[in-house]
Structure 1
Amino acid sequence: MSPVPPRQTKQRTEILDLLGTLDEFRSAQQLHELLRARGSGVGLATVYRAVQLLVETGEVDVLRSEDGEAVYRRCERRSHHHHLVCRRCGRTVEIDAPVAEGWATQVAAAHGFDDVDHTIELVGTCAACRAAAHDTLA
């Protein structure tokens, strides 16, 4: 018997709607500030609880920023995928990585592991940020 999914609350709907407008990962605190700017009364503790639940249900992806803070994004793909993230502006591209999938399985098997999960985040500088940096130097 599968677990009963949590009911969709007004607050979770507001957070999902906001995440649907963003291309980059944002912290719970940043999401809270954006919601407040929209006139929402959702509290910070509610945002933290909601994003955790949304991660657990697979509606939102989470990764760790360079300083270790959890950041969240609503991805178009609900299936397993990875991210290419701009270190300057935060722009994020969802990517498939079939070679990485095979590599992870191969490495796990070579060490006697199975049922292995993995997360791969590639971080670089997008073309727009490179161009802006070049224009600043010129």
Structure 2
Amino acid sequence: MKSTRQRTAICEILDSTSQFQSAQEIFASLQQRKESVGLTTVYRVLQTLVDSDEVDALRRDDGEMMYRRCTPGQHHHHLICRSCGRTIEVEGASVERWAQDVAAKNGFSQVSHVVEIFGVCTSCRS
């Protein structure tokens, strides 16, 4: 992907936190930094980053998409706090086996999946 000033600025925002952020939140952070990047450009760059597996995306209960820079080249799942958005990358060998087994039993191949587990973290419960 071509590196542009806008893409670099958006990636810097994504790299500054391990939490999921909305395009609106990223846009607000860019404005605070006095970066001249339009909201449409933010959405376009985020989609390009998702398509190239540089960023994970998930849809909140209210339908808004959230974005987060993740460990490259490593399949993982997310444990996400509903209250504060704290996100932990987790592996799930049993989930991987289950997905392959279900797919094989139903004649599917080239299987992929996404698992997001939502709950309330220890800090928010306190």
What is the TM-score of this pair, normalised by structure 1? Answer: 0.87
Compute the displacement of 1:65 (Å): 0.8
Compute the displacement of 1:77 (Å): 4.2
Counterpart in 2 of 1:136? none
1:1-138 pair list within 5 angstroms: 6-131=1-126
- Larger Rg: 1 or 2? 1
CA distance in 2, matches of 1:37, 1:85: 26
Compute the displacement of 1:23 (Å): 2.1
Structure 1: gaps spanning 5 or more residues: 1-5, 132-138
Q: Percent identity?
A: 48
CA distance in 2, matches of 1:77, 1:60: 9
The one-letter code sitting in structure 2 at the alignment partner of 1:33 is: A
Compute the displacement of 1:29 (Å): 1.2
Runs of 4+ in 1 over 3 A off after TM superposition: none
Structure 2: gaps spanning 5 or more residues: none
Aligned residues: 126
